[in-house]
Amino acid sequence: MVNQGGTAGVRATALGQHLIADFYGASQLFDGGPAAAMLHKAAEAAGATVLDLNLHDFGDRYGFTGVALLAESHISVHTWPENDYVAIDIFMCGDAKPELSLEVLRSYFTPSREHVQNLKRGVVAAAVDFA
């Protein structure tokens, strides 16, 4: 934005970044146990702090769901082994870098195809000093 005659301006900034990923042809979809360490690693890679972690294994090879509650927001995964598919949701604010979490998840699930959406959340005006 160009400031016309003053020392302060306004620019838009996002409070958080939200990555939504669909992984197709994925692996590691049955057992939630090893996924706990992976979720911790994904949070740490982004510079985020894990507050709590909850995993639920649906048993009998039906997949699992997991959520890492972060000081910066959350990472969640939900698997459908029968479709070789995992749904991923990563929302972070502050200085955290959710794209680095996505890299860890990609390495763990090894999808053959993916679709990723990157949403800016909480777009607000921020004062800018042009002095």
Which amino acid type is present at position 22?
A: D
Which residue is catalytic, options 27, 76, 93, 107?
Answer: 93
* CA dist list (Å): 120 to 15, 47, 48, 57: 8, 18, 18, 31
> What type of residue sits at position 88?
I
Bridge partners of residue 113, in order along the sequence: 24
Q: Which residue among 74, 76, 78, 115 is the active-site one?
A: 78
Pair 122, 14: CB distance under 8 Å: yes
Task: Based on the residue annotation, tell me whether 78 is a catalytic residue of this protein.
Answer: yes
Determine the Cα–Cα distance for residues 90 and 119; give it in Å rounded to an integer.
10
Catalytic residue among 27, 73, 101, 115: 73
Residue listed under structure tokens 């090893």: 34
In sequence order, what are the beta bridge partners of 69?
A: 52, 74
Task: Decide if 56 is catalytic.
Answer: no
Catalytic residue set: 73, 78, 93
